[in-house]
Amino acid sequence: MDVIVAGDRAGLVKARHSLGIGLSGATLALVPTMGALHEGHRSLIRLAREQADHVAVSIFVNPLQFGPNEDFSRYPRTFDVDLETCADEGVSIVFAPSADDMYAQDRQVSVSAGRMGTIVEGAFRPGHFDGVLTVVLKLFNLVQPDIAVFGRKDAQQLAMIRRMVADLDVPVSVVGAPTVREADGLALSSRNRYLSPHERHTALALSRALFTGARGRTPAEILGQARAVLDAEPGVALDYLVLVDPATFTEAGDDHRGEAVLAVAARVGATRLIDNVAVTL
């Protein structure tokens, strides 16, 4: 079946109706994206297809989650290819609203990510998680999915969305999906296309540091081993390297037991990259 493209909220209502979603009991999974789709997005779509009768992919470069000096205007926009990818993966609905359709000129109310939105990644991107949660809640209200799939690549984003769903009683099941990597370890990202061949080589230090750190046994060992790899790569300008609780993103100290996330953010040339791996303490 052909993918239905909904360019605004009216189109979305029609698309939901024509597929019998909500009426005949057909279930819907949402995969929110900013487009420039790659294998990571494809893996989310495949996971979504396993869990629901229909999959909706939203493609929206959300101005609210970009800081004034970030890459909003040059963020890659590849809509026609993205549409082919979605058709290829059996997506039922592509929701691609304009910024004007999403945000009224006189809008007042938005979601606050709270204190958790100001730590780790939030400390480097003020307001970012407020913007993410606001658009995700709007997408949930518009698309009305039963489940929504997010990548663990953006681990703090996933944790924040789970927190929002719990704190605001949002009736959507959130599913986390594993990070897809290139054969050499680089986590797939729409921003990788900004990297020159030399920068791409330099960027491999991030995943190498995470894998090396994950072999440590204690928080100090894990952080120390990862740090040594990053320090040996002069082209990497580190924003942070942290070991945190996956649900709260607070520091996993010496007494932490169970799952933790070793997360890194760094700039390679003009490109800011993030990555993380799960470790068990």
Q: In the window 179-218, what residues touch ligand AMP (CB under 6 A)?
A: 179-180, 187-190
Q: In the window 132-151, what residues touch ligand AMP (CB under 6 A)?
A: 150-151
275 binds ligand AMP (CB under 6 A): no
56 binds ligand AMP (CB under 6 A): no
Residue closer to ligand AMP, measured from CB, 43 or 92: 43
The reply to whether 41 belongs to the active site is yes
CA distance 21 to 27: 6
Segment interacting with ligand AMP (CB under 6 A) among 135-143, 164-172, 177-185, 255-263: 177-185
Pattern of binders to ligand AMP over 149-168, x per CB under 6 A? -xx-xx--------------
41 binds ligand AMP (CB under 6 A): yes
Segment interacting with ligand AMP (CB under 6 A) among 36-44, 95-103, 166-174, 222-230: 36-44
Q: Which of 41, 128, 201, 256 is catalytic?
A: 41
Residue closer to ligand AMP, measured from CB, 21 or 177: 177
- Count of residues near ligand AMP by CB under 6 A: 17
Pick one of 33, 85, 212, 271: the residue that binds ligand AMP (CB under 6 A): 33
- Nearest CA among 95, 34, 35, 22 for reference residue 64: 34
Q: Least separation, in Å, of the C-beta of 18 and ligand AMP? A: 26
Phi, psi (rounded to 5 degrees) for 201: -65, -45
User: Sign of torsion, CA 132 102 83 170?
Assistant: positive
Site residues for ligand AMP per CB under 6 A: 33-34, 40-41, 43-44, 150-151, 153-154, 177, 179-180, 187-190
**Active-site amino acid positions:** 41
